[in-house]
Structure 1
């Protein structure tokens, strides 16, 4: 897959969220992510819709912090532990790296979908269907109506999407990202073995 796709994705993004990593630190970034992180260490693209996390312990929202087991991942009780989450869409749906390649990950249901074997293919996939894979049009509409999306939040309905929450501006609220993922992990645990039509305590 051509490196051009990655360059084109970066052209849709804003400035780096963190300083470039020196070579001695870049070696600790998983090899499949190095072409991305070495070019721009964290950024937003398509407005705030696509969020690629910076690498490096000193930066707010960094990838290592986000993947810590005691932050929100414990709510999933091991599901998705083979994925390193490095980016997300407007709604906090994750993009992750596994040994076999790059995946999208639905934190409400834990369903995953293979996207590409390398970061260039992942970038091409994002570019080919950016509206659906990032949520950018809804992000633009929400910002026009409400102003900038607060830092550290993602947009989500009170009722999870898979339970009938609507992809509509008036039904979306900015939720702190860690709080949102913990909530989704809890709902997943409640619903994963339930029959259709069972009651769920959202508590949110």
Structure 2
């Protein structure tokens, strides 16, 4: 059943975004936990633009290596999440990551983590079991009905971060470049992480 969930996810995905990773000299570079997925399809979008699985390979747009580089956006979090390797994201730019202890969803607004399984089959099963929560697919579909196709490299976010009252409503969301969005969230997190509960926060439009 667990392997079937991954097979179903791959079937829902579009065309691979990167070349085949089957040659041994390439495959050896891929983190072992990701091999069952990326060696079958090297990066893809699924459920419209809602789920983005990043491809592996240095010369591919939006690839895992570039995304996890310190100077892409990670330095904005000052070490938070450095034990994670991020490989996919939902429509809102919330991250999916691997860790020595398993698979997690990572909230970049709070740095909270949600455990999603010991391996990629369990991760796929949990994700497929609640697509609305883990991908935001219905909101992505509604947003595109209102605004047209979501440009490649962009995710959806409200003017006020979700953690501070932003709404999960298509009408309230804008399309923001993924790197810009993560840097913004890292900056906000660092400014607010030590504030006491109930502190007043203002966001400029």
TM range (shorter): over 0.9
The structural deviation recorded for 1:26 is 1.1
Greater mean alpha carbon deviation, residues 182-191 or residues 16-25: 16-25
- Unaligned runs of 5+ residues in structure 1 are none
TM superposition score normalised by structure 1: 0.97
User: Which residue does 1:163 correspond to in 2?
Assistant: 164
Superposition TM-score, scaled by structure 2 size = 0.96
Q: 1:11 Cα shift?
A: 1.2
Aligned to 2:17: 17
Distance, in Å, in 2 between the alignment partners of 1:25 and 1:90 is 29
Query: What secondary structure, in the 3-state scheme, does the structure 1 residue paired with 2:2 have?
Result: coil
In structure 2, the partner of 1:8 is: 8
Contact in 2 for aligned 1:187/1:202 (Cα 8 Å): no
Which structure 2 segments of 5+ residues have no match? Answer: none
> What is the alpha-carbon distance in structure 2 between the residues aligned to residue 2 and residue 149 of structure 1?
31
Runs of 4+ aligned residues of structure 1 deviating over 6 Å after TM superposition are: none
Summarize the alignment of residues 20-169 of structure 1 with structure 2, pairs less than 5 Å apart.
20-21=20-21, 22-169=23-170
Q: Give the aligned CA root-mean-square deviation in angstroms.
A: 1.2
Distance in 2 between the 1:90 and 1:2 partners? 24
Q: Secondary structure at the match of 1:167?
A: coil
Query: What is the deviation of 1:201?
Result: 5.5
